[in-house]
Amino acid sequence: MRGRRPLGCSRCVPDADSEERLMEERGGYLWFDGVRVFAEDMRLLCVVAGRVVPLPVALLHPDCRLAADGDVGRLGVPRRWAEERGLRA
């Protein structure tokens, strides 16, 4: 049925295998301080470690409160997402 999580999946991550989901559930997140969010062409982007990247709203750590244009704070993202974009904490 659409909109339902598979049984046994407490937190599904798109395009991730079960090992990656387990890593993220165990705290496989990287945190970046002083991240600034801004809007451009109907997209939310953020400045992280001097780089401009899309704000991955669907992948953010549950404690991350960045969500709107003008927000500044801590960004918590899955380690794999950060590494794919060349970011290091």
pLDDT in tens, 41-72: 999 999 998 899 999 999 999 999 999 999 99
Confidence of residue 85 (pLDDT cuts 50, 70, 90): very high
CA-based torsion, 19, 28, 61, 87: positive or negative: negative
Is residue 45 a contact partner of residue 38, using CB atoms and an 8 Å limit?
A: yes
In tens, the pLDDT along 12-51 reads: 444 444 444 444 455 599 999 999 999 999 999 999 988 9
pLDDT score at 27? 57
Residues 3, 5: Cα–Cα separation, whole Å: 7
Put simply, whether the predicted model's pTM sits higher than 0.85 gets the answer no
